[in-house]
Structure 1
Amino acid sequence: MLEQIKVFHQVVDSGSFSQAAKVLHMAPSSIARNIDSLEAQLKTTLFKRSTRQLVLTEEGDYFYKQSGKLVEDTDVLLAEMRGAQDTPQGMLRISVFESFGNLCLAPIIPEFLQMYPDIKIELDLDNKLVDLYSENVDLAIRIGVPQDSGLKARKLLNHPTLLTASPTYLNHRPPITLPSDLHEHNCLLISQERQRNHWFFAKGKAQQKISVKGNFISKGGSPLLTAALKDCGVLLLSEWMVKSYIESGQLVEVLPGWTVNHWEEGSGEIFAIYKAAQYPKPHVRAFLDFLIKKLS
């Protein structure tokens, strides 16, 4: 019955029998039989089935919430019983936003694979938010704490942003001494999927919201960084992306006395996110520990 309950949880998390079947590597018909059997044992209907959507009944919602701890406690118990015999192995699927994946993860993954030769990594560099359940992702790296209470998060590092431009660009354009001076400059912009872009400045108690515009917009930071290095405009990016170029003199920090962010509430922190309903598998735990140690 426990396996049927796990199948039931995956169906709820995935939103459909077919998605759950993909995650569990089972045929959709097997998923349906597991749910039918569980409903027969419980003598209740768990789902309102229709051709358009799958919705929990009142009893199904109650059973999902109450059985969640049972599933998690079982996974924890099995992990404890296996103890040191649990060698990290298997496929580890990681989703990470493009710039961080290229600059921070890609260089250290070979070292991790040398430490754990029985682990395989599938790395997805994508700036969209993925559903860890329906897309069968073990670990996602994102900016900010997840809103989904069904996920856990471990902080990896802070995420300050810096305003920079190349010396050549700055030498051929009006000086930037105040945030409002950016109105006269070409700003390289992260796509925010909104009509107008703003950068938010703070200095002591002073706060300013500056409307910015430019001729290059990208969902990822790497193309914008390349453009800034080729003297195309003013760039607002993560410190870990631009720090080495500032040190080499290829970029110069602009308005260093101000704190500046893409969002009014700040740029937040970077977290590793994983499923809360399950005790982290050995290969997930191993990568989390390795990542935190390397990034610290």
Structure 2
Amino acid sequence: MDWDKLRIFHAVADAGSLTHAGDVLHLSQSAVSRQVRALEETLNATLFHRHARGLILTEQGELLFDATSAMIKRLDAASARIRDSEEEVFGELKVTTTIGFGSLWLAPRLPHLYEKYPDLKIDLMLEERVLDLPMREADVAIRMKEPSQADLIRKKLMTVKMRLYASPGYLEQNPTPNTLDELHRHRLICQNPKSTQVGAGATLVSSLLANEVPSLLTVNNYFGVLQATLHNLGIGVLPDYVTEDFPQLVRILPEIESTEVPVFLAYPEELRQSKRITAFRDFVQDEIITHRKKMRELAAG
């Protein structure tokens, strides 16, 4: 099957328009249309439903689009490996992790990575959805549980616990709770236990809400919880690593915390030799060592 025709078909399916695909491919609309018709004739199948608002894939078109998507991701992976220099680290690296960890821990430390490798292009994808690494939705992931996908290299980085924190400003205006029963006098800031998050965090929040907390603010990520806590809105349920960069936070009810949440770094087996992956992995490991040292210092007072 002619790869040029497949490439043009994929662009049309992705854009939903012959004109937009032509713009991307630097081809005329008529040239794109001819290639699509030729492919349909070769396959003896209709790939698009045509209407005034654009093009919609047929069932046969959907099957072919899935195949071309997988092919392109594999080609991107091969290109990434070929571009990796033995001595230099450059090019794009797609990194995925959760919104909380990515915004509160990883992003503030990226300057250290760019200082060493200024030609890197990091595409940081922050979302709770688990992206498919073998299908190259991302190159490397930091996840709050051990990855279950096959053909992945994985390394445990550290563990995290969810704890209760408040700002000094909030505690100046509200008495510090000394028992769980006194928590009902305060506003709790947390993720909704039904939202996508680590199980340990959801379990802790559910147990706290069982105490009939009268005032509540829920946010769908820990960055929002942190901002609300820093602005004196109440007592926040936050991962313990935030205290490194926000040491002014005061821990509330130290006996209350979640179970340990493991943090794993993972990447596809086929990228084992990638210089960019190696650079990122070493950077994260170095930052973890520094982080552990600072956390020990904070714990020691």
- TM-score, with structure 1 as normaliser: 0.57
The 1:99/1:181 distance shift into structure 2, 3 A limit, reads same
Distance 1:227 1:100 in 2: 17
Question: 1: CA distance between counterparts of 2:106 and 2:97?
Answer: 9
Q: 2:281 aligns with which of 289, 292, 296?
A: 289
The structure-2 alpha-carbon separation of the partners of 1:172 and 1:183, relative to structure 1 and needing over 3 Å to count, comes to: closer
Moved more, 220-229 or 77-86: 77-86
Change (3 A) 1:243 1:54: same
| Residue aligning to 1:117 | 118
Q: Is the 8 A contact 1:92 1:119 kept in 2?
A: yes
Say if 1:97 and 1:141, in contact at 8 Å, map to a contact too. Answer: no
3-state SS of paired residue (2:49)? strand
Q: Deviations over 1:156-206 (max 9, x none)?
A: 66553212235672994373523x643332112447899xxx96339xxx9
Q: Which runs of 5+ in 2 are unaligned?
A: 196-200, 289-301
**Paired position in structure 1 for 2:203:** 200
Letter in 2 for 1:110: P
> Which amino acid counterpart does residue 256 of structure 1 have in structure 2?
E
Letter in 2 for 1:236: V
Q: Give the corresponding residue for 1:235.
A: 236
* Deviation for aligned residue 1:53: 6.2
User: Are 2:54 and 1:55 equivalent residues in the alignment?
Assistant: no
What's the C-alpha RMSD, in Å, of the aligned pairs?
5.5
Match of 2:165 in 1: 164
User: What SS does the corresponding residue of 2:241 show, helix, strand or coil?
Assistant: helix
- In structure 2, relative to structure 1, the CA distance for the partners of 1:63 and 1:254 (3 Å cut) is same
Structure 1 counterpart of 2:253: 254
Kindly provide the amino acid, as one letter, of the partner of residue 285 in structure 1: I
Q: Deviations over 1:126-181 (max 9, x none)?
A: 7797999xxxx967978668xxx9xx897766553212235672994373523x64
1:114–1:18 distance in 2 versus 1, CA, 3 Å: farther
Question: Between the two proteins, what is the percent identity of the paired residues?
Answer: 20
Stretches of structure 1 that go unaligned for 5 or more consecutive residues are: 261-266
In the alignment, the residues of structure 1 paired with residue 87 and residue 56 of structure 2 have an alpha-carbon distance, to the nearest angstrom, of 36
1:16 is displaced (CA, Å) by: 3.2
Taking a change above 3 Å as real, the CA distance of residues 88 and 46 of structure 1, as seen in their structure-2 partners, is: farther
Q: Write the distance in 2 (CA, Å) between the matches of 1:255 and 1:218.
A: 23
d(CA) in 2 for partners of 1:188, 1:81: 48
Amino acid at match of 1:242: T
Quickly say closer, same or farther: Cα 1:61–1:243, change in 2 above 3 A.
Answer: same
Distance 1:77 1:243, change over 3 A: closer
Greater displacement, 282-291 / 114-123:
282-291
Cα displacement (A) at 1:235: 0.8
Size of the alignment, in residue pairs?
267
- Deviation of residue 251 (structure 1)? 0.6
1:173 is matched with which residue: 175, 179, 182? 175
User: Larger helix proportion, structure 1 or 2?
Assistant: 2
| Structure-1 residue corresponding to 2:3 | 2
User: How far, CA to CA, are the matches of 2:188 and 2:287 in structure 1?
Assistant: 30
